[in-house]
Every structure is written in C-alpha cells, then in structure tokens.
C-alpha cells in the first residue's frame, strides 16, 4: 500500500466520484482516491504484447491502490467543483484509522485519507482509464 502525504510525496492522485453525504456532514466531500506505483515490470496488453508510448519507450506496469478520501477544511470548497474525475497533488492531509464492529461482531479497521489542502496536478492524462487495473481491482486502504 502506498500513500505518502507531503509536498514531494503525494503527487498525481486520482479523485473519483466525489459526493457529499449530508447524513454524515455538510462540510466534508467524500471521494474515491486512486494511487499507483511502478512494479518494475513492463506493461502488456490483453494479448500479451508489450506496450510502448508515443516515443517508443516501454510503458511500466503499475499496481493500483484505492483509498477513501475526505476533503475538509480549506479543501472542502475547492473539492465541490470536482467533476467525476480529477487529478490532484495533496499538500496537507493525514491518514485516519477507524475501528468498528461488523454485523458478525468482528472488529474491522478502516483507513481513510483526510485532505485539507491540495492543488490540481500538473500531470495530464486523457481519461481516467489510466487509473483502472486490467482486472478492475486494486487494494483498499484498510490493508496497510
């Protein structure tokens, strides 16, 4: 699991599906966050052919991590303007831990990211498809 908060560490975070949960708070925007890291392998398409970028360089394979994000404080108003998908760099935030009991009585721990300041990422991509695993799955923040 990888997410480092700080000026040089939390770049290029994908924010998906921002929403307000008025039953919870009218001062927090909830969203799905997706981070990734290079695996050291080269990316291959579904047929097994290696993928290259426009310059002919190999495209690295990435592992994706999914987090629950909460935009609060100074980040709340700016996050209200998000569409369905946005790339950001986190300037200020922290990871919270929430422990609760499941329906079957077991303890469950959930990790989520509270973001209080961010800037729009200068990295450009054409679509949110770059943040989808080939199998549509990723690890979630409760597994640190």
**50 domain-assigned:** no
DSSP E strand boundaries for the chain: 13-20, 29-42, 60-71, 85-101, 107-120, 139-140
Is residue 126 a part of any domain in this protein? yes
Q: What is the CATH number of the domain that holds 29?
A: 2.40.50
32, 132, 87, 3: CA torsion to nearest 10:
70
Residue 118, in any domain of the structure? yes
Over the stretch 52-102, which tens digit does the pLDDT of each residue have? 999 999 999 988 889 999 999 999 999 998 988 899 989 889 999 999 999
Domain annotation covers residue 5: no
Q: What is the pLDDT of residues 19-65, one digit of tens each?
A: 999 888 899 999 999 988 888 999 999 999 999 999 999 999 988 88
Structural domain including 95 reads 13-33+67-140
């Amino acid at each position: 699991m990888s997410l480092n908060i700080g000026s040089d560490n939390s770049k290029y975070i994908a924010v998906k599906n921002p929403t307000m949960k008025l039953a919870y708070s009218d001062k927090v925007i909830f969203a799905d966050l997706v981070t990734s890291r290079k695996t050291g392998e080269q990316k291959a398409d579904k047929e097994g052919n290696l993928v290259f970028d426009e310059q002919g360089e190999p495209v690295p394979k990435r592992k994706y991590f999914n987090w629950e994000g909460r935009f609060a404080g100074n980040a709340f108003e700016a996050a209200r303007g998000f569409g369905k998908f946005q790339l950001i760099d986190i300037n200020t935030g922290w990871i919270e831990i929430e422990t609760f009991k499941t329906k079957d009585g077991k303890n469950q721990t959930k990790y989520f990211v509270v973001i209080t300041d961010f800037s729009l990422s200068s990295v450009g991509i054409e679509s949110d498809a770059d943040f989808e695993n080939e199998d549509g799955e990723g690890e979630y923040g409760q597994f640190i």
